[in-house]
Structure 1
Amino acid sequence: MKVSLLLTLSFFLPLAFSDDVEQVKDINGKPIFPGGTYYIMPAIMGPPGGGVRLGQTGNSECPLTVLQNYAEVDFGLQVKFKIPGISPGIIFTGTQLEIEFAEKPRCAESSKWSVFVDNEIQKACVGIGGPEGHPGQQTFSGTFHIEKHRLGYKLVFCMTGSPTCLDIGRFDANKGEGGRRLNLTEHEPFEVVFVDASNFDGIIKSVV
């Protein structure tokens, strides 16, 4: 699995980045900033579902896997973006980012996003925390990027110490998990928009 995953990531590196760099904005056209709280929502509202949250998968007794809600009215959990190291505090497309949920489950070591390989479904999924939260499963550390995609944006994961990157998509494991998993994909990326949680009034302005 490790070899095939690395080959897939390397193959898709040219697709992960764009030469057209621009400031990332929320659905109201305002720039997003590190430290702010946001909801990650699908760019097209309706049957595609709602925001992202944490859920229990496999034999885990702690919600460590990132899921997209089935219900479009559920905005999920708030996230924060962090730029590693020294930065001007401006998030552009292609900026290296760490993503974490604003609140951490008590049973988790960290709310920081990471990638782990679910041995049962043989897919690299987005979760939180490091190896301690995913015993017996391969984990990958790295950074996330936001790239422009169609009417919204897409999330891209890049592995630490490697030039390999891959888009973040959605996968329905059909295991009663209550949502679709976010996973590294070679197919359709998850097209998203960002909602400023500090100004949230319960109404989303559709981008379509």
Structure 2
Amino acid sequence: MNKQKRLEILTRLRANNPHPTTELNFSTSFELLIAVILSAQATDVGVNKATDKLYPVANTPETIFSLGVEGLKEYIKTIGLFNSKAKNVIETCRILIEKHDSIVPENREALEALPGVGRKTANVVLNTAFGWPTIAVDTHIDRVSNRTKFAPGKNVIEVENKLLKVVPAEFKVDVHHWLILHGRYTCVARKPRCGSCIIEDLCEFKDKTE
């Protein structure tokens, strides 16, 4: 895909959604961090149902840590992998309390050292909580980038590096959200909704649907 097509795609996505953000419910960087840890292999809707009950009771490292693993499980047991996620969240809270004064670090290395936090989660937190021009590549972004030929890559790291290279600076903070939402609601996995797609004429996917 050429530079002009990419620019037009980004321009249209921005015009359609000028101020995109995550669909996870959060009001602090800590709430966002916990929600993103919980969202691995789970839907944002499912995570929100759990955190909407959890956060009024406990929404700081100290208060969630005080629940303990078993106490936390009661709030997140509707989410997939809740056993391992409960352990990761409690351990993350302990590390934040002991090493970071209960503050979410604005630092990739420190974030990735937390249990349950990988590169994608760190990218989400740095982008959404702190406004960094990072691009977290999930299955939706990977699919959209490859299917449209906007930023093809053999794996999520290749796609992330390609996006960082080809997306102009003015779009970098928001492109992660645009592509996720596009993949979640329009360029869906099984049968993309090409007929209702605002970038259909620019997309280089060969097997477009009606």
* TM-score in terms of structure 1 length: 0.31
In proportion to residue count, which structure has more helix?
A: 2
**Higher strand fraction (1 or 2):** 1
Considering only CA atoms, is the larger Rg found in Structure 1 or Structure 2? 2
Higher relative contact order, chain-length normalized (CA < 8 Å, sep 6+): 1
